């Protein structure tokens, strides 16, 4: 299967810290790729750099085989990316934010499509961000990532702040978009979602890939999720003390 997104020996500096040391990943087209790791492992820095929100200080980022490492704007145009829910302007309504994200409201809603019911966009559309709960802000931020058509979407911890029903509906809706051809990359803390929804993934630790989670590992995880969870936690503990 062709890679929609490939990262090779990626390095990212945050402030004075080398947050991403040497990350190599390959995401096949039309798949859901999950990044897991402890807090501070580099997941957010990897995602923000790939999506053009941060510069890459080393390595290479390729989209559809094209090297876009030096062109952050090209990465940002090609990849849908959810803003930080906490940074959404409190004075604006969801309608205004989606209009900004999509260029116009109707095309934005059309691009969001069948995700809208899972995100409860109709209920939130005229609510000011300042009157929204953390879960509501999360839904609006995710909608922003889909407000313009994109073949690749990156979401950082999309299930955070969502209640169990909302998380279930969102997982199903995202899986349906992937099955329809979307390439999705998500940072996750939830190993159950990684095992049950993703096609492949990687464990990050200390800004590097500790191990790759291929299709065989995913299939094993689905057969015995508790064993997968134990093995992953053991890797995380080992990386933390090494």
CATH number belonging to domain 3-82+153-241:
3.40.50.300
Give residue 236's pLDDT.
76
Give residue 230's pLDDT.
86
Domain ranges of the chain: 3-82+153-241
Please spell the DSSP secondary structure of the chain, one letter per residue: --EEEEEEEEEEEETTEEEEEEEEEEEETT-EEEEEE-TTSSHHHHHHHHTTSS--SEEEEEETTEE-TT-HHHHHHHEEEPPPGGGS-TTSBHHHHHHHHHSSHHHHHHHHTTHHHHHTHHHHTT-BGGG--HHHHHHHHHHHHTSS--SEEEEESTTTT--HHHHHHHHHHHHHHHHTT-EEEEEES-HHHHHHH-SEEEEEETTEEEEEE-HHHHHHHHH-HHHHHHHHHHHHHHHHH-
- Is 159:170 a contact under the CB 8 Å cutoff? yes
**pLDDT tens by residue, the chain, 242 residues:** 579 999 999 999 999 899 999 999 999 999 999 999 888 899 999 999 999 999 999 999 999 999 999 999 999 999 999 999 999 999 999 999 999 999 999 999 999 999 999 999 999 999 999 999 999 999 999 999 999 999 999 999 999 999 999 999 999 999 999 999 999 999 998 888 999 999 999 999 999 999 899 988 899 888 998 888 888 888 777 776 66
Give residue 242's pLDDT.
60
């Amino acid at each position: 299967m062709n890679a929609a997104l490939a990262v090779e020996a990626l390095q990212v500096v945050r402030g004075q810290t080398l947050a991403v040391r040497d990350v190599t990943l390959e995401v096949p087209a039309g798949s859901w790729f999950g990044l897991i790791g402890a807090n501070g492992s580099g997941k957010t820095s990897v995602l923000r750099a790939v999506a053009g929100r941060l510069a890459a200080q080393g390595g290479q980022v390729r989209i559809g085989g094209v090297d876009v490492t030096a062109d952050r704007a090209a990465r940002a145009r090609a990849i849908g990316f959810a803003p930080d829910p906490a940074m959404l302007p409190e004075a604006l309504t969801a309608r205004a934010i989606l209009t900004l994200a999509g260029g116009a409201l109707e095309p934005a809603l059309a691009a969001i499509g069948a995700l809208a019911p899972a995100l409860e966009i109709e209920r939130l559309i005229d609510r000011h961000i300042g009157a929204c709960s953390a879960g509501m802000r999360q839904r609006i931020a995710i909608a922003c990532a889909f407000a313009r058509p994109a073949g690749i979407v990156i979401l950082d911890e999309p299930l955070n702040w969502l209640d169990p029903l909302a998380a279930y509906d969102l997982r199903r809706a995202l899986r349906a978009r992937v099955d329809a051809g979307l390439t999705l990359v998500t940072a996750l803390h939830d190993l159950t979602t990684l095992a049950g929804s993703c096609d492949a993934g990687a464990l990050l630790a200390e800004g590097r890939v500790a191990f790759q989670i291929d299709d065989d590992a995913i299939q094993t995880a689905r057969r015995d999720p508790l064993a997968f969870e134990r093995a992953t936690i053991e890797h995380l503990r080992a990386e933390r003390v090494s």
